[in-house]
Structures are given as C-alpha cells and as structure tokens.
Amino acid sequence: MRVPAPLLCAAASALVLEACEGCVETDVNAKPDEAPAFTNDAGSWLSMATTDDGKPAIAYYDRTQDGLGYAVATVDKAGAATWTREEVDSYPDENGLNPGDAGRYASMAIGSNGQVWIAYQDSTNGTLKYAHKGDGVWDVAVADVGGGSKSDAGFWASLALDSSGNPVVAHYDHGKGNLRVAHYNGSAFTGEVAAEGEAFTPADTGAGAEVVEANVGEYAKLYIGSDGTEYIAYYDRTMGALRLATGKSGGYTVTTVDDDGDVGEWPSIAMDGSTLWIAYHDVANQDLKVAHGTPGDFTVETVDTGEHVGADTAMFLDGGSPGIVYFDGFGNDMKLAKARDGAWTTETVTGSQGALGYHNETVRIGDTRYVACYDFTARAVFFSALP
C-alpha cells in the first residue's frame, strides 16, 4: 500500500439519486449514408461490440467535432474493414452550432435483438449520458448526474447488459470521489453509490501530515455474470489499490484484489465459470499484472515487466485460455500476452507504423479474434485480426 499525496476531493456520501425520471430524450436522426468516412480525429475512447448479424461495431469520441460517433464495419476476406459511420450526439447542427462536448469514456453493448446501447460522458454538463438505437433511430438522454452539489460524473463509464437486455453502467463521480452504478428499468435510469472507500490517515500525525479523503472509482470496468451478479473492478486512488465491488442494485460488497504498492489502473475483466480474470496496470512498477480467482481470493501474477507497459488492457478468454491486449508506452506499441501451459508469452502486434495501443478492445467473430484501438499517429481507428 502506498502513502498517497494529498488530494482535493470531497468526502463521499451514500446518496441514491433518481437520475433520469422525467428526462426528455432526444431523437438523433443519424443517416449513415450521409456521414463521410473517417476524416476527423476519430477513435479515442473506443468501445467495440458485435452486431446481431456478426459485424464489428465501434463507439468512439470524435476529437475534431467533440461528439460521439458510431460505426459498423464490413470485413473483406483479407481482413480489411470498410466502415459505415453515424454521428450520434453533440455534432454541430446544420447551422454549424456546436451543442457541447460529449463522447468521452464511451462504452457500448449490443443486445441479441440488435439494439445498441452506449454510455458516455457529457463533459460540458458533467453528466453520464446514454444513447440507444432501436428501429433505426438514436435516442440520447441523461442517465446519472452524480451525487455532488454540481454534476461532475460520467468518468470511466462501463456498460453491460443484464439478462433482460437492460443496460447497467458503472462510472466514476469525480464530484464525490466515489463509484456509482446506474440501472435501467425499461424506461429510466436510477443511480446509486456502489463504493465510497476510506480516507487515508497517516501514522505520523506530526507537522505537515494530512488526512487524504477517500477517492475511488476511476478506471471502472463492469462485468455481469450469467447469474446476474455484477462485478466492478476499479482503482482506489487514495490507497493505491485495485478493488472489486460485487453485488446487484441496492447492495455491493467491496473486496481487495491487489494492494501491493500502487496498482489498479486500466482493469479489464473476463470470466471462465466462477473464475474471474482481471488484467490491470501496476502503476508503481509500470508493469502488466493479472489476477484470477473469486472475490476475496485472488492469485496475482506479473505478466510483462517491460518499461512503461500495462495500460489500456483488454482481457479475453479463448477456449478458456487467457489473453491480454495492452499498451507498451515505451515503444508506443500494442502488445499481446497469451498464457499457454501456465506460462505467459508476449509479442508486439504489427500492422501499422504509428503509435498503437490506446483504448484497446477485442471481439471474437467466428474463429477470428479482432482488435481495435486508437492510432495516435494517424488519429484514426486501427482494426486488425489478432495473431
């Protein structure tokens, strides 16, 4: 456990908020045929899923227009993707007026019925928003405003669908320094606090010693098990630890995954039976780590000890064998780690001369696993089959 630097953060409170009752939804008549190809700085805060007809789809932040974009790819036999793009929220209107800045921290899931759900931050208003596409029309509205006196929520949004196809979104409320979860009941979202953390009180209370307020919930990553249990991995900045909130609406139990040093940024989750796999970044040592086990009983391994590695993780399982896509900050590369017969091997993912590995996402379609990320050099989406 590290000794943290003082943070300017308000103490968390257990406020449960009816976030979106009576919110007015906005119909966004996005017409994909009228949207040009990727010409903007597009692809950061990328999230990827598979459409109901087996095509890769991405949600992303358009840095040029400060908006939320969505695109579906047709992949040819050579593995090249041709994208059809839609402008979902916060793009300039026909008069060139920009309605604000929205689309960071995009997180998407697509149901078996083909309905698309995207959670993201409205940076202008400090709220968690959602976009829903059903019957070819986008609806956008506020999902949660956080618990502070002034809205400052929606950071690190992570969306998953429950067994009924309703979205659940975990996110970080910067205004209160806590982890929140918003549940959709078929007509509106309700937000609640899932974890508040503890303040750090130094053992030496002499001159200059300061209490550091609780600050938890950054880098939130949500996974919903087959039994409906919600698992949320997140970073406890005050204590420098990776925590796991487990439960359902109305009650979450927090356990520690790893608190050795300063660890827990950029977690991602996969599940095999009852075993959780969580990849994450060791902040203090700049390594890639992985934990596997059950809440309260995890085994931790260091996967890659290269210089400045382990951010932007994307954990996956293929045939029960774990793999991780992650960022190599020293080489500005995307890397791939795979475990076979109890040992981890790593390699650099090729295919571009640019800086790859930002906001990594993977999906499996048929026998092929694909990866997408933000190409920082090209300021565009990188998409490829994994080796």
Question: Is residue 328 predicted with pLDDT exceeding 80?
Answer: yes
User: Mean per-residue pLDDT for 155-167?
Assistant: 98
Nearest to 287 by CA among 298, 296, 269, 300: 300
State how far the Cα of 352 lies from the Cα of 348, in Å rounded to an integer: 11
Question: For the chain, how long is the longest CA-to-CA vector?
Answer: 68
Do the Cβ atoms of 252 and 246 come closer than 8 Å? yes
Is position 137 within any domain?
yes
Which strands make up the sheet holding 216-224, listed edge to edge?
216-224, 230-236, 241-248, 251-258
What residues are paired with 23 via a beta bridge?
none
Report CA 351 to chain centroid distance, whole Å.
24
Of the three residues 120, 144, 168, the one that is the final residue of a domain is: 144
Is position 194 within any domain?
no
Number of domains into which the chain is organized: 2
Of the three residues 127, 144, 161, the one that is the final residue of a domain is: 144
Is position 4 within any domain?
no
Is position 116 within any domain?
yes
> Could you report the per-residue pLDDT of 75-119, keeping only the tens digit for each?
999 999 999 999 999 999 888 888 999 999 999 999 999 999 999
State how far the Cα of 171 lies from the Cα of 147, in Å rounded to an integer: 12
pLDDT, averaged across the chain? 90
Is position 314 within any domain?
yes
Question: Is residue 350 predicted with pLDDT exceeding 80?
Answer: no
Of the three residues 113, 144, 175, the one that is the final residue of a domain is: 144
Residue 3's pLDDT band, with cuts at 50, 70 and 90, is: very low
pLDDT of residue 205: 66
State how far the Cα of 112 lies from the Cα of 353, in Å rounded to an integer: 37
**275-278: Cβ within 8 A, 24+ apart:** 276/223, 276/231, 276/244, 277/315, 277/317, 277/322, 278/233, 278/242, 278/244, 278/315
pLDDT of residue 206: 67
At a CB cut-off of 8 Å and minimum separation 6, what does 217 contact? Answer: 155, 156, 171, 172, 173, 177, 178, 179, 180, 195, 234, 235
Domain range for residue 352? 281-387
> Could you report the per-residue pLDDT of 284-316, keeping only the tens digit for each?
999 999 999 999 999 999 999 989 999 999 999
Among 16-25, 84-93, 159-168, the least confident range: 16-25
Q: What are phi and psi of 32, to 5 degrees?
A: -60, -30
Is position 171 within any domain?
no
Is position 136 within any domain?
yes
Is position 376 within any domain?
yes
Report CA 247 to chain centroid distance, whole Å.
19
